[in-house]
Amino acid sequence: MITLKDISEIIGGDLRGDGSVPIYGISGIQEAKEGEITFLMHAGYERFIDTCQASAIIVSSTYADRIKDRNIIVVKDPQLAYIKVAGLFDVNKKQEPGISPLASVSKDARVADDVSISPFVHIGREVRIEKGVCIYPFVYIGDSASIGEDTVIYPGVTIYARTEIGKRVIIHAGSVIGADGFGYVWDGERHCKIPQLGKVVIEDDVEIGANVTIDRASLDKTVIKRGTKIDNLVQIAHNVTIGENSIIVAQVGIAGSSKIGRNVILAGQVGVRDHVVIGDNVRAGGQTGITKDVKAGSSVSGTPHMPHKEWLKLQVQLKRLPELFERMKKIEEKLFSGEADD
């Protein structure tokens, strides 16, 4: 059992109320019940305080003095505090250590003692798996791949040979890491496949969503750098590099040999042309088509991409086109009817 006082100490908050209250779970402010803790991060949810059934609320100092006769924990950032508390009640905890007898593990593989390997996992020759790794059923790991400490690989993931996965990486179900890059040359009669001899490197603390595909490089390596988070259904082509702490949202497609900087955000369905360089701290709005290099610190939208403010002005002008068309039509009618001479 964990008490409100325990939680306050974990998140470094200022407890106001009964610290002995037991907490069994966490929930949203509208759904929370007695025995659960919730949080208030936005003014729009303040109206639910009076009807909230939670045993305690995590709040910032902005709201602390407005809440009377309730157990609260006051913190600087309720969202960061929520992350810590949610981890205490995470139902997706790692499995118990051990290798299932139904797993296929090469005798040449080097597997740490406290690794969890589920049934129907295949681990190839000379694979290295470090301590704390958790591998769910139906995962394929090819020859000479390496998996760093405390990485979690969910069901149905395919990791091709020689792929390097860092520490504390999370790879969600159905993703494919290290498939051949899409490269062909036309010889006049047919498409000749370019051998894809490189690899994929995933650095520490990366999260890869469900059904993501990251292709191996043709000669060198495709690299996803430390701290980057990739949403579901993203395609990353061969020889791409994505810098530290970037966010790649669902259905983004990044073509071959593009270089993405640090702290970049590519919103949903952004498309990036091959051999493009995107600088650090760039923000690209949803469905942006990036066709050439983007300077660091830019915010872009539209296809082909343009500065976000210009794109906003263009949207206003586009809405006026029907009105302008009607006005032009009336002017033309006057001109051709001779009325313009009157």
Supply 109's token pair: 């593989």
275 is catalytic: no
Supply 251's token pair: 């259905």
Supply 60's token pair: 């910032």
| Residue in the block written with tokens 């995590």 | 58
| Helices 4-11/78-88 angle, 10° precision | 120
3-class DSSP assignment, residue 161: coil
CB of 126 closer than 8 Å to CB of 145: no
43-73 burial: b if 16+ Cβ within 10 Å, else e: eebeebbeebebbbbbbbeebbeebeeebbb
Which of 263, 259, 256, 251 lies closest to 298, judged by CA? 263
Question: Which member of 238, 275, 305, 308 is catalytic?
Answer: 238
CB of 20 closer than 8 Å to CB of 70: no
CB of 56 closer than 8 Å to CB of 2: no
CB of 270 closer than 8 Å to CB of 276: no
Q: Is the dihedral of CA 314, 319, 320, 322 positive or negative?
A: positive
How many residues in the chain? Answer: 342
How far, in Å, CA of 36 to CA of 140, rounded?
A: 39
For the annotated catalytic residues, the residue numbers are 238
